[in-house]
Structure 1
Amino acid sequence: MKSLLVYYDPELTTKLEDIPIPSYNEDEVLIKVVIAGSNPKDWKHPMPQYFNSKLNQGDDVGGVVAAVGANVQHFRPGDRVAGFHQMNTPRGTYAEYTVCPAHTVFHIPASMSFEEAATIPLAAFTAAVGLYRNLLFPLPTTLPSSTANSPPAPKTPLIINGAASSVGHFAAQLARLNPSIRPIIGLASAASRPAALESGCDIVIDYRSPSATVIAELTDALGGAECSHVFDAVNSVQSLAYLLPVIRSEGGRYTCTTGLRSAGIYTKKEGEVEQAELLERKGVWFKQIWVGSVHDDVVGGGRVFGGEVARLFEALVGEGRLRGLPGRVVDGLERVEEALVGMRSGGKEWRGKVGVRV
C-alpha cells in the first residue's frame, strides 16, 4: 500500500513509500482510509525542536473498517467510521490503510460524509480533554444535581478564546450540551462571529478590539463577576492581557492547546514573560491540553476516558448534534506536503481543516 512519511530535511519534506498493509493487535481496528484529516501538529511534531520524527504524521481518518482485532466487539468490516490514530506512532492515516485503537473509533451515520467525519476526531477529543479532564465539567451523561424538589443548579460561565477555531468549534458544541454551562462566551474575529454562534456560543466578543474594550465586554457578559473556567484554543501571552483580568484567582482554572513554557522550543527574548509566569502570578490553576492522553494505558485513566467520549461522539453524530467543520479537500497523498506547507504559512486558502482524499 501507499504510505507517506513527513519530516524535515532541513525543510518540510514528504516521501511516498510502498509498504505492506499494517498489522494490528487484538484491541485495534484496521481502517481503509477514504479521507485523511490534516492538523497543525502534522507539520509541528516532526520539527527538530519538537519530536524530530520521520513517520506518517496523519492521525484523523474517515473511512471503512477493513478488519478488527480479536477483542474488538463494537465494530465489524464494512462499518463507516471516524478514528483517532495514536499520535507519534507508525501506521498513520496518510496511507491507504491505517490502524486506530478501537476505543478512539466511532461509527458515523450514512448522512455524514467521510470528508466531514475526518475533521472531528483529534479536535473533538482535544475539546473533550480540555472541558472534562482539565476544567472538570461533568460529561453530558452525568445527572444534574438539582431535582424536582430542589432549586435549579447554578449556572457556570465558560469563556472560549478562539471559539471559531477547530478546537473551539467542538468545545462550544460539547459545552452547549450541558444547560448549566451558561453563558458560553466566545472570543473570535468579527468575521467569524456567525460560525461561533452556530457552534453554541451565547455571546461572541471581537478579540481584535482594544484590550480594554474586550475586558469591559467580558466583564459585562459575566455580569460583573469573575470567571472560573477559561478554555483557550489559541493561547498566547497577548490573549492573557484580556483574559487574566476576568479569571478568578482562587478556584479559577485555565486550559489551553499549546505549550505554556518555551522549554527550548522557542527562543525566549530578553524581558519576555511566558504565559505560565503570568498565570502563576495570578494564582490560577492551569494546564495544557494533551490530547494524546486518551491513548494513555493507565488504570482509570486516558483510555477509559477516551472510550467513554468516543461512544458519546458516536451518539451525538448519529443524532446530528455534533457536526464537523467545513474545509478544503485535496486529491492524493502527493499533495499532503503542499497542504502542510500552506497551513504552516497561514495562507488564506489553507485555513481551517484540510482533508486528503486517498
Structure 2
Amino acid sequence: MSLPTQQKALILPSYGPGAAFQLSTRAVPKPGAGQVLIRNTAAALNPLDFAIRNIGIFVTEWPAVVGYDGAGTIVALGPDVQGWKVGDVVVYQGFWPADTGVYQEYTLAPADLVAKIPKNVSVEEASTLSIALATATCALYTAPGPHTLGFTAPWEEGGAGKYKGQAALVIGGSSSVGQLTLQILKLSGFSPIITTASASNEAYCRAAGATHFIDYHTTPYSALKSKVEEILDGKTPLPLVFDAISVDESQKAAWDILKPGGKLVVTLPPLIEGAQPGVETKDGKTLVMAHGSFGAEENLKVSREVFKLLTGWLESGVVKPNRVEVIPGGLNGVVPGLERLETKGVSGVKLVVRHAETA
C-alpha cells in the first residue's frame, strides 16, 4: 500500500490565553520497532483536550497534536511487529508526542496497546473507550501508588467476582469514565453498585451495572451520605468510592461517606485537606488521583492485559462503549465540540468526529 507523505492534522501551536487549534498539514510518521501506523476513522473528544490547550498539562513538545481516544485501520507495521496485519480495524489510545495524537489522519500506536474491534461494535463507538477504560482499570488494578489502588483484577486468579458483597459508589455514572467504571466494578463482583446521575440517564447507568440509582437533582451532595447509608442499611461495607466528577463538593461528599479503610478515586486534582495521594490518612482512608493513560510505565502490566481481553469483552457485551453523537465536519468539528464540553453542554453521550469528513 502506498501511503501519502503529508496528512491533515489539527495542530495546537502553543497553550495558554489565546491558544487555538489550527487545521494544517504535517508529515505522516513511519512506524518504528513495536509500533503500528493507523489510518484514523474516528476520534472521541475529551475535557483533557481543552485542558491541554488552556494550561499545557502533560504535553512537553510544541506544536502538539492532541486527541487521545481513537479507532481506525492499521496501514503499516513496524519491522518487528507480529500478530497484526495491514487492514485490521482497531481501537487504541493516543499519547503525548505529536505523532501519537489522534486529531490527524495517521497516528502511531504501540502494537501491544491496540485491540481489534469486533463486528458488533462500530468504529465510532469503539473510539469512545480508551481514556475512560484506562482511568477505570488502571486506577483500580495497578499496584498501589499515588494514582492506583491495587485491587485484584478480574482476570487474575480468584479475581472474577472477588468483591461480591462489598459495595461501591460511582459519582457521575452517566459520564464516559463513570460508564466504564460501572462495568468494570461489575466484573469484579462489587455489589451493590450505587451511582449518581441525572434521572434521564438512569436506564443508561443501570445497563452499565448500577444496582441502585441516585438522582443528583433531588439528592444534593450534602445529602448523599445519608442516602447511601439508607441504601446500605448498615449491612454492607463500602470500601470504594469512584468520583468521576471530582468537583469540590463531590470529593468532600465522597470522603465523608467513607469509613476507615475506605478508598477514594478522584479524576481531577484532589481537594481533600490533609489527604496525600496514595498515603493512608490518620483516620484510615486513602485517596488516589486516577491517571488514565495506558502508556504510563506504572500501568503497562494492567494495560497489556486489558488490550488482550478487550475484543472478547466487546464481542460478548461484558464491556459496552459509550453512546455516541457524531459531530459533522471531521477535524473541523473538534473545536465546536470542545466548546460544548467546556460549557457542560453534553450529557450521557460521547462526542465523536470522523476524519474522512474533514474538508
Please give the range of the TM-score, normalised by the shorter of the 2 chains: 0.7 to 0.9
User: Separation in 1 of the partners of 2:163 and 2:205?
Assistant: 26
Structure 2 residue identity aligned to 1:295: G
Alignment of structure 1 residues 1-358 onto 2, 5 Å: 1-6=7-12, 7-8=14-15, 10-48=17-55, 50-51=57-58, 54-87=63-96, 89-133=98-142, 134-144=148-158, 155-179=165-189, 181-208=190-217, 209-211=219-221, 213-224=223-234, 226-249=237-260, 251-260=261-270, 274-277=271-274, 280=281, 282-292=283-293, 294-297=294-297, 301-330=298-327, 331-348=329-346, 352-358=349-355
User: Separation in 1 of the partners of 2:349 and 2:15?
Assistant: 23
C-alpha spacing 1:281/1:44, structure 2 compared with 1 (3 Å): farther
User: Separation in 2 of the partners of 1:62 and 1:121?
Assistant: 10
Partners of 1:206 and 1:214 within 8 A in 2: no
RMSD of the TM alignment (CA)?
2.4
Partners of 1:130 and 1:256 within 8 A in 2: no
After TM superposition, give the deviation of residue 94 of structure 1 in Å.
0.8
1:243-293 Cα deviation digits (max 9, x unpaired): 2332022x2111111111xxxxxxxxxxxxx3243685754211101122x
After TM superposition, give the deviation of residue 353 of structure 1 in Å.
1.4
Partners of 1:35 and 1:355 within 8 A in 2: yes
After TM superposition, give the deviation of residue 42 of structure 1 in Å.
0.7
User: Separation in 2 of the partners of 1:19 and 1:88?
Assistant: 13
What TM-score, normalized to structure 1? Answer: 0.85
User: Separation in 1 of the partners of 2:301 and 2:153?
Assistant: 13
C-alpha spacing 1:55/1:202, structure 2 compared with 1 (3 Å): same
Partners of 1:226 and 1:246 within 8 A in 2: no
Structure 1 residue identity aligned to 2:128: T
Partners of 2:15 and 2:52 within 8 A in 1: no
Match of 1:269 in 2: none
What TM-score, normalized to structure 2? Answer: 0.85
SS in 2 for 1:341: helix
SS in 1 for 2:241: strand
Aligned length: 333
After TM superposition, give the deviation of residue 186 of structure 1 in Å.
0.9
Partners of 1:187 and 1:205 within 8 A in 2: yes
Partners of 1:27 and 1:71 within 8 A in 2: yes
SS in 1 for 2:342: helix
User: Separation in 1 of the partners of 2:253 and 2:175?
Assistant: 18
Match of 1:149 in 2: none
Structure 1 residue identity aligned to 2:334: V
C-alpha spacing 1:83/1:233, structure 2 compared with 1 (3 Å): same
User: Separation in 1 of the partners of 2:10 and 2:79?
Assistant: 28
User: Separation in 1 of the partners of 2:106 and 2:129?
Assistant: 19
Structure 2 gaps of 5+ residues are 1-6, 143-147
After TM superposition, give the deviation of residue 41 of structure 1 in Å.
0.2
User: Separation in 2 of the partners of 1:211 and 1:354?
Assistant: 27
C-alpha spacing 1:88/1:135, structure 2 compared with 1 (3 Å): same
Structure 2 residue identity aligned to 1:116: E
Partners of 2:265 and 2:290 within 8 A in 1: yes
Partners of 2:29 and 2:99 within 8 A in 1: no
